[in-house]
A and B are shown apart, each in its own frame.
Chain A
Amino acid sequence: QQQVKQSPQSLIVQKGGISIINCAYENTAFDYFPWYQQFPGKGPALLIAIRPDVSEKKEGRFTISFNKSAKQFSLHIMDSQPGDSATYFCAARIRGGATNKLIFGTGTLLAVQP
Chain B
Amino acid sequence: EADIYQTPRYLVIGTGKKITLECSQTMGHDKMYWYQQDPGMELHLIHYSYGVNSTEKGDLSSESTVSRIRTEHFPLTLESARPSHTSQYLCASRPTGWTEAFFGQGTRLTVV
Chains A and B are bound partners:
no
A residues adjacent to B (C-beta < 8 A): none
